[in-house]
Amino acid sequence: MRIRAIAVNTFKEAIRDRILYLLLFFAGLSILLARILALLTVGDRVKIIKDVGLASISLFGALMAILIGTGLVYKEIDKKTIFTLMSKPLYRHEFILGKFFGLVLTLFVMLAAMSLIFLALVFLHTFRIEPRLLLAIAFIFVEFVLITAVAILFSCFSTPILSALFTLSFYIIGHFSWSLETLLRKLRPGPGRVLGQVLYAVIPDLENFNLKTEAVHGLALPAGLLAYSLLYGALYTLFILTLAVIVFRRRDFL
């Protein structure tokens, strides 16, 4: 019940943030400009619209999670409201989970708005909605949930600017972790390769949630791969949230 109350308050606070609507505007503009880009590009116009549209949703949604999530906990500390909250019968994990679910709900609403623009544009060209597109959007949301957890983790011990940089780095590295695997194949056995293997095991592979290529080109999506990606996202998010709770519990507010 207390988690729900914090989540609702977080949602109400986040949904009023003007930066959300600024990013939503640019996301919608980017999706609509895909139509112009398709006219100027040689190739399947519908595929270009799908590719640019999904990429826009993924990028701007991630920016929403980063810019809003990295300030959630810090704002409470900076405004000294955290002292009032911690003096009440409220467990610290309830505070973190409430903030997390509140932002996840906010991102869900923003994702729905961006998806509506995107799917409407696709429908105007194909007169149908492909299930693969909905599936790709669903896994983009799974990625948002993980990024939200990371943003809250950094927000527990750092300033919004540094937290945003750390989370953005997490996002970029997560999408290029495949290059580390390629590098490991070329490294000779030794300390360097061991270090690389450790980094590869720790760094998240956000490409697990990238189904844009399959959705755009109509490729097969094995159920086993989807289940693995979903489980991977759930476990990694749980791991990050656990770290956030541990870090937040170690902070002294009283």
Domain ranges of the chain: 2-249
Distance CA 223, CA 80 (A): 48
pLDDT in tens, 174-195: 888 777 777 667 777 777 677 7
The arithmetic mean of pLDDT across residues 146-152, rounded, is 96
pLDDT (0 to 100) of residue 23? 95
pLDDT in tens, 71-112: 888 888 777 777 777 777 778 889 999 999 999 999 999 999
Whether the predicted pLDDT of 254 surpasses 60: no
CB neighbour list of residue 188: distance below 8 Å, 6 or more residues apart: none
CB neighbour list of residue 45: distance below 8 Å, 6 or more residues apart: 38, 39, 125
pLDDT (0 to 100) of residue 189? 77
**Is the distance from CB of 253 to CB of 83 less than 8 angstroms?**
yes
pLDDT (0 to 100) of residue 239? 95
Indicate the pLDDT class of residue 134, thresholds 50, 70 and 90.
Answer: very high
pLDDT in tens, 5-33: 999 999 999 999 899 999 999 999 999 99
SS (H, E, C) the chain: CHHHHHHHHHHHHHHCCHHHHHHHHHHHHHHHHHHHHHHHCCCCHHHHHHHHHHHHHHHHHHHHHHHHHCCHHHHHHHCCHHHHHHCCCCCHHHHHHHHHHHHHHHHHHHHHHHHHHHHHHHHHHHCCCCHHHHHHHHHHHHHHHHHHHHHHHHHCCCCHHHHHHHHHHHHHHHHCHHHHHHHHHHCCCCHHHHHHHHHHHHCCCHHHHCCHHHHHHCCCCCHHHHHHHHHHHHHHHHHHHHHHHHHHHCCCCC
Which comes out higher in pLDDT, residue 182 or 209? 209
3-class state of residue 130 by DSSP: coil
pLDDT (0 to 100) of residue 194? 74
Q: Which two tokens stand for residue 183?
A: 């590098």
